[in-house]
Amino acid sequence: MSAPKKDIEPEVEIVEDDEEATLPSADEVELQSPADRGEDSLAAGRDAILRAVEHAPAQPGVYRMIDGRGDVLYVGKAKNVRNRIRAYARPTGLDTRIERMIAATRALEFVVTRTETEALLLEANLIKRLRPRFNVLLRDDKSFPYILITSDHWAPQILKHRGARTRAGHYYGPFASVWAVNRTINALQRAFLLRSCSDPFFESRTRPCLLYQIKRCSAPCTEEIEFNEYAALVRETNEFLSGRSKAVKDELAREMEAASSGLDFERAAIYRDRLAALSAIQAHQGVNPRGVEEADVFALHQQGGFACVEVFFFRTGQNWGNRAYFPKADRSISAGEILGAFLAQFYDDKPCPRQILISHDIDDRELLAEALGSKSGHKIEVMVPRRGEKKDLIEHALANAREALGRKLAETSSQQRLLRLLAETFGLVRPPQRIEVYDNSHIQGSNAVGAMIVAGPEGFRKRDYRKFNIRSAGLTPGDDFAMMREVLGRRFKRLLAEAPRVSAVADLAASAGPAAHEAPLPQEEIDLLQSEPAGNESESPWPDLVLIDGGQGQLTAAREVLAELGVDVPLVAIAKGPDRDAGRETFFIPGRDSFKLAPRDPVLYFVERLRDEAHRFAVGSHRARRMRDLREAGLQEIAGIGPTRKRALLHHFGTLKAIERASVNDLMQVDGINAETARRIYEFFHEVTA
């Protein structure tokens, strides 16, 4: 586990432009062309910086450059903030990206820290939170899975964990994928026989479960193992996952030899099987270095203005998987600068290994090692291998980075082409950068949930997904139109409050007449969009296109609620075909007749993917809410199930999830459950949702 971050008590000094009357407003700046505002804006930005220099601290700290709207453009750190700020005001020697940033700057804010190390940690934290458009941004919308060995029960449990560390215990990771976690847990169960069942299941057992029979659990639930023996297994597991794998294996080998010498061959076979399981964990999975016990490997490859960072995780001498990242950075930023910014943000909320191997040297490498060490509570080494096995690891990671970036570029090109075709099909003035898709899920109005998924040029943005528990008191159960009104109303009321629009959004060109649908996008506009630097992508929370799962009725309901709010966004409704057949959908757009697309149209496939993802997310959210309510209300919700049958079901299956997975024949094996009752239970859990 990583040590908690040191408290930083910054002294905040805000330097604002004191000549606001001489500067154009945010709207005026937005409406001016680059040619109109180029030199004037650059001069105004330099003036703002020069005024800030007078008040800037000559100490370590973090500075923020802010535009006329109050948005943070850039977050940087410096050993001497005043000197660093003064460098931005020099008239020559700055690259185009820096000049663009200076031209947009209208104010600066400073945070003084005690040391440069604290400044680096604070900089990484602010970049991840504020996401300034001129910084290198780590796109990390998915947390890593870990292995957790609990410590809040007399018989600790081993399980997979993702998310906040709210439960007491020892966490090991990160693992690059759930598959790697599951594989390791299965092998650890064979080696150390720790239980993986939940506490309620554990407490309800009267006889060992199947895992005990197949030698993957020692069955502490029924006291098949003594408490002190189980505690020893837990201790060995923690030692193995903490990096002392060789000591654990040596101890097991000695025990096996002792049992064999004492002619206790049955016990010796147990130790033999446990050793084999540990060897399976450390078996070759891609690359398993012999001389690297605990390290993270980072390799960066740049191509076509894009960058890919491939990360490999090595713990206890084994490969725990790898993951590719595609940080958002301007084309002009060097590989070392990207990698340095990436590392600081990557370890902002993750435990750090004792060794970090990188493909490119970075500025402030020693400072980064010191900062990560102070946060982790142990010494960290950041190095660029030049030879030997560690250099081979870097080369292997670089090869994976090249392949991953090649795949990403191919996917991005295909996605951009689909977005252009989508814009032509639906009459949008430009390819959408943010698409929001809405769907509802319920069973006869119960546990109604609305869902919103988001997609863009990079694919699905899962960190932006939202679910809405339908809670209107006067809503008629099963009224899909009213549910859609509530979901859209709540979504756009909050959006208006949190991010008021500065300029009009792109509207459906089709509303101007049928001819707009036939006109393709101007080639100049397409070229402009394609040539836009990666570091300047829009992060607007406003959608360029809203897709509704439904027909004319849902579209009308959506238009009414958005009109009441004064929101104008392109709307398209997708009605399923006869018998809900995919490929026969009808599209409804305000101001146009309904239409269908050719069965093999790539836009149709693309929209179906979006619709299906929204449906998956809505149904999953609905099922989670239904199961939560079921746990609270109990199985008595099912007709014919009372307290006696509920106890019999739980005693037989152990958990509610096991009852849900059971077939009709399995349910009929329970005392007191006949064929009709078993059918009702099965249909309750497997009923088709709306």
| DSSP codes of every residue in 542-583 | S-SEEEEES-HHHHHHHHHHHHHHT----EEEEE--GGG-TT
**pLDDT tens-digit series, residues 151-199:** 888 999 999 988 778 888 888 877 877 877 887 888 788 878 899 888 8
Place 532 in a pLDDT band, splitting at 50, 70 and 90: very low
Which tops the pLDDT comparison, 383 or 143?
383
Q: Where are the alpha helices (DSSP H) in 589-686?
A: 602-633, 643-653, 656-661, 664-668, 675-686
Predicted local distance difference test score (pLDDT) of residue 474: 65
Which residue carries 């000549």 as its tokens? Answer: 19
| Residue 497 included in any domain | yes
- Side by side, which strands form the sheet with 146-150? 158-161, 146-150, 169-172
Hey, what are 235's tokens?
A: 């201790």
Which residue carries 């905040």 as its tokens? Answer: 12
Question: Averaged over 228-254, what is the pLDDT?
Answer: 78
Of 575, 596, 624, the position where a domain reaches its end is 624
**Amino acid identity for residue 151 in this structure:** S
Hey, what are 24's tokens?
A: 């154009």
| Residue 135 included in any domain | no
Domain of 89, CATH number, reads 3.40.1440.10
| Residue 287 included in any domain | no
Range of the domain at 217: 146-281
Hey, what are 675's tokens?
A: 């064929």
What value does the mean pLDDT of the chain take? 78
Name the strand (E) or helix (H) holding 367.
Answer: helix 365-376
- Of 335, 334, 310, nearest to 407 by C-alpha is 310
Place 435 in a pLDDT band, splitting at 50, 70 and 90: very high
Q: Are residues 262 and 310 in the same domain?
A: no
Question: Averaged over 667-683, what is the pLDDT?
Answer: 85
Hey, what are 153's tokens?
A: 């029960």
Q: Are residues 190 and 261 in the same domain?
A: yes
Res. 96: pLDDT tops 90: no
- Of 135, 460, 149, 139, nearest to 329 by C-alpha is 135
Hey, what are 17's tokens?
A: 């432009």
Which residue carries 């909320």 as its tokens? Answer: 349
Res. 278: pLDDT tops 70: no
In this structure, the number of other CB atoms found within 10 A of the CB of residue 191 comes to: 25
Res. 74: pLDDT tops 90: yes
In this structure, the number of other CB atoms found within 10 A of the CB of residue 184 comes to: 25
Give backbone dihedrals phi and psi of 57, rounded to 5 degrees, phi first. Answer: -75, 140
CA 395/CA 361 separation, integer angstroms: 15
The DSSP string of 482-522 is HHHHHHHHHHHHHHHHHS--SSPPP-BGGGG-THHHHPPPP
Q: Are residues 541 and 668 in the same domain?
A: no
Q: Which of 449-453, 455-459, 500-504 has the lowest average pLDDT?
A: 500-504
Predicted local distance difference test score (pLDDT) of residue 545: 93
Q: Which of 49-63, 200-214, 271-285, 615-629 has the lowest average pLDDT?
A: 271-285
Q: Supply the angle between the helices 245-261 and 227-241 in degrees, to the nearest 10.
A: 140
Q: Which range has highest mean pLDDT (14-28, 37-51, 491-505)?
A: 37-51
Hey, what are 249's tokens?
A: 């294996």
Q: Are residues 322 and 469 in the same domain?
A: no
SS3 15: strand
Of 375, 407, 439, the position where a domain reaches its end is 407
CA 677/CA 668 separation, integer angstroms: 8
Hey, what are 242's tokens?
A: 């903490």
Whether 380 and 369 have beta carbons less than 8 Å apart is answered as yes
Which segments within 20-178 are labelled E, that is strand? 61-66, 72-78, 107-112, 146-150, 158-161, 169-172
DSSP category for residue 139: -
Whether 607 and 585 have beta carbons less than 8 Å apart is answered as yes
Percent of the chain with pLDDT over 90: 13
Question: Averaged over 257-279, what is the pLDDT?
Answer: 72
CA 678/CA 668 separation, integer angstroms: 6
Overall number of domains in the chain? 5
Predicted local distance difference test score (pLDDT) of residue 207: 86
Res. 384: pLDDT tops 60: yes
Whether 111 and 56 have beta carbons less than 8 Å apart is answered as no
Which tops the pLDDT comparison, 596 or 517?
596
Q: Are residues 125 and 150 in the same domain?
A: no
Q: Are residues 464 and 592 in the same domain?
A: yes
Place 518 in a pLDDT band, splitting at 50, 70 and 90: very low
Q: Are residues 612 and 639 in the same domain?
A: no
| Residue 140 included in any domain | no
Q: Are residues 562 and 532 in the same domain?
A: yes
Whether 323 and 312 have beta carbons less than 8 Å apart is answered as no
Res. 382: pLDDT tops 50: yes
Whether 594 and 581 have beta carbons less than 8 Å apart is answered as no
Of 624, 658, 678, the position where a domain reaches its end is 624
| Residue 6 included in any domain | no
Judging by DSSP bridges, how do beta strands 435-443 and 545-549 pair with one another? parallel
Hey, what are 586's tokens?
A: 């009808």
SS3 337: helix
Judge if the upstream peptide bond of residue 174 is cis by omega within 30 degrees of 0. Answer: yes
Domain of 324, CATH number, reads 3.30.420
**pLDDT tens-digit series, residues 204-238:** 888 888 888 888 898 999 888 888 889 988 988 88
Predicted local distance difference test score (pLDDT) of residue 588: 92
Question: Averaged over 313-321, what is the pLDDT?
Answer: 79
- Of 401, 430, 431, nearest to 414 by C-alpha is 431
- Side by side, which strands form the sheet with 318-325? 318-325, 306-315, 295-303, 355-358, 381-383
CA 284/CA 448 separation, integer angstroms: 48
Range 493-498 contact pairs with CB under 8 angstroms and sequence separation of 24 or more: 493/565, 495/541, 495/542, 496/565, 496/567, 498/541
Q: Are residues 246 and 321 in the same domain?
A: no
Hey, what are 323's tokens?
A: 């993951």
Question: Averaged over 302-311, what is the pLDDT?
Answer: 87
Q: Taking the CA of residue 20 as centre, how many other CA atoms within 13 Å lie in the half-sphere pointing to its CB? A: 9
| Residue 421 included in any domain | no
Q: Are residues 316 and 380 in the same domain?
A: yes
Q: Which of 115-119, 276-280, 621-625, 683-687 has the lowest average pLDDT?
A: 276-280
Hey, what are 326's tokens?
A: 């595609």
Q: Are residues 473 and 608 in the same domain?
A: yes
Place 417 in a pLDDT band, splitting at 50, 70 and 90: confident
**Amino acid identity for residue 570 in this structure:** P
| Residue 289 included in any domain | no
Which residue carries 């506009």 as its tokens? Answer: 525
CA 390/CA 190 separation, integer angstroms: 31
Which tops the pLDDT comparison, 355 or 582?
355
- Of 409, 401, 433, 420, nearest to 304 by C-alpha is 409
| Residue 419 included in any domain | no
Q: Are residues 273 and 352 in the same domain?
A: no
> What's the pTM value of the predicted model, to 2 decimals?
0.63
Domain of 617, CATH number, reads 3.30.420.340
Judging by DSSP bridges, how do beta strands 446-456 and 466-469 pair with one another? antiparallel
Give backbone dihedrals phi and psi of 519, rounded to 5 degrees, phi first. Answer: -80, 125
Judging by DSSP bridges, how do beta strands 107-112 and 11-15 pair with one another? antiparallel
